[in-house]
Amino acid sequence: METQAAKILIVDDDTAFQGMLREAVGEKGFAVESAYSAEEGIERASGEAFDLVLLDVRLPGMTGIEAIPRFREVSPSTEIIIMTGYAEKDSAVQAIRRGAYDYFTKPFSLSEMEIVIRRALEKRRLQRQVSSLRRALDREGPLARLIGQGEAMSRVKDLLERVAPLDSTVLITGETGTGKELVADTVHALSARAEGPFVKVNCAAIPENLLESELFGHEKGAFTGALQMKRGKFELAAGGTLLLDEIGDMPLHLQPKLLRAVELKQVERVGGTKALACDVRIVAATNVDLADQVRERKFREDLYYRLNVACVHLPPLRERKEDLPLLAEYFLGRLAGKLKTGQPRLGPGALRAMYEYDWPGNVRQLANVLERAAIFRRGDEITAEDIDFGRGVGQAPASPQASAPLESPLPLREAVNLYEKNLILTALRRANGVQTEAAKRLGVSAKNLWNKLQKHGIDPSESSR
C-alpha cells in the first residue's frame, strides 16, 4: 500500500493534541481525518474506508476499549492503534485482546509513531495480498455465476480472468438484459479489492440536477436543502469498486468532472474547495455505442478513451443459444423454493420453442418467461403452450416445429442432445458435408463443430447423402 493512498482516522477529544497529531501524520504523506468521540468515529468508519484508526482510550461516552469491537464490526480490515495518556498496562493488554494492532502511551515520539503506523499498514497490505491469492486459487467461484459453457461466454470468462485482477478501468458493453451488472460484480469479486465496497450508480435513473451530488458529494449549505455534508459514491467506494451503470446517459456538462476523478483519483464535493484523494477502481457499463455518441458529440472523446481501457462485450442471448438449457436449469432451480412446488420440468417442446425465439430482452427476458411459464403451467411439465414470449399464454409458439410434440417425453439433457444433433445434421446436409461451411451456418468454430461430431457420433460424409 502506498503511503499516499493510506487513510487514517484520528479519534481523540483533546482538540490541541488532535491538531498536533493531524499535522504530524499529514506531513508523512498520509490522508488524515478526525473524530472527537468513539460514536462519531464509528459512524465515519461505517461510511468510509480507512486503513488505520488512531483511537484514544479516554473518550466522552463510549471508551476506546469499548469501541474496538464496534470498529471491527463496521470495518473488519481496518487496523486499530490505541493511545492512552496513562501508563495502564491492563488497558493496553485488553485493547490487544479485543483486536487492536498495537498501543502508544502518551507522550510518545513521532518517530516511534511513524514506525508503528507503517508496520500496521504493511500488515493490512499483506492480509489483502493473501486474500487476493486465495481468491485466485478459487476463481471459478465468482465465474460460476456467469452461466454458460458455449464459445461466446467462454471468451468472456477468459477475458475476465485476465482483466479483473488488474486495477485498470473496465468498460462493459452489451444489450439490455445481458447481465452487465453481474459481470461488474464478478470483476470486483476477482480483484484485489474484493474485500472493499462495491458501489453502484445508475446514471440514467438519477435526475440530472442530483447526479453531481450523488457522485461527488456536497458540503453543508452548498445548495438549498443541503442541511449537512454528504459523501458521494466515489468516497463511499474508497478501497473498492464503483460501477457507473448506463454511463452513456451521463450529462455532457458533468463529464469533465468525471474525467478528472477517473484520471487523478480525486474528487471535489459540490460547494467544496478541497480535492479529496479517492482510491477507487472504475467499472462502467452501457447498452449504447459510445463511439457513436462521441461522433455525435454527446460523449467526450477523452473520457471515452479513459473508460475504454479494457472492454468486455456481452453477447446477446440469440448469439449463444447453446447456453439455453443451462440457463433454464438455473432459473427453474431458483424458482423451486419460490413456488414451493419443487423444480418445474422443462419439456422438449418448450425447449424447442425457446431455441426458435430471438430473445430481444436477452437473459432478463428468459428469466421472466420461465417464471411466468412455471406459474401458469397446466401440469408438472412446462410445455410449448405454457411459454409466453409476450403474445399471451396459450397463443401460438414461435414456429410450427417448436410446437410439435414428441411421441414420448424425454429428460431435458437428452432432448437438448437430440435437438443439437438434428441441427448439426441439417447444417451438414445444407453445406453438402463441408464442415467449415456447416460451422458458419451454426455460428460455431470448426473445432467446436468437430468436437460435437465426435460427441454425437456423426459421420459428415454420410450426412451429405
pLDDT score, position 62: 92
Q: Which CATH class is domain 142-315?
A: alpha beta
Q: Which fold has domain 3-133?
A: Rossmann fold (3.40.50)
Query: 279-303: b or e for each residue (b if 16 or more CB lie within 10 Å)?
Result: bbbbbbbbbbebeebbeeebbbeeb
Sign of the torsion angle spanned by Cα atoms 419, 423, 428, 429: positive
Query: Is the model's pTM score more than 0.75?
Result: no
Q: Which CATH architecture has domain 319-460?
A: Orthogonal Bundle (1.10)
- Average pLDDT rounded to a whole number, residues 328-357: 82
Cell numbers at 7, concatenated? 487513510
pLDDT score, position 164: 93
Give residue 149's identity as a one-letter amino acid code. Answer: Q
Q: Between 129 and 67, name the one with better pLDDT.
A: 67
Question: Among the listed ranges 54-63, 288-297, 315-324, 436-445, which one has the minimum average pLDDT value?
Answer: 436-445
Domain ranges of the chain: 3-133, 142-315, 319-460
**Distance, first Cα to last Cα, the chain:** 67
Report the percentage of the chain scoring pLDDT > 70.
87
Q: Are 335 and 370 in contact (CB under 8 A)?
A: yes
Q: Tell me if 142-315 shares its fold with 319-460.
A: no
Q: How does the average pLDDT of the chain come out, rounded?
A: 84
pLDDT score, position 54: 94
CA distance 397 to 212: 47
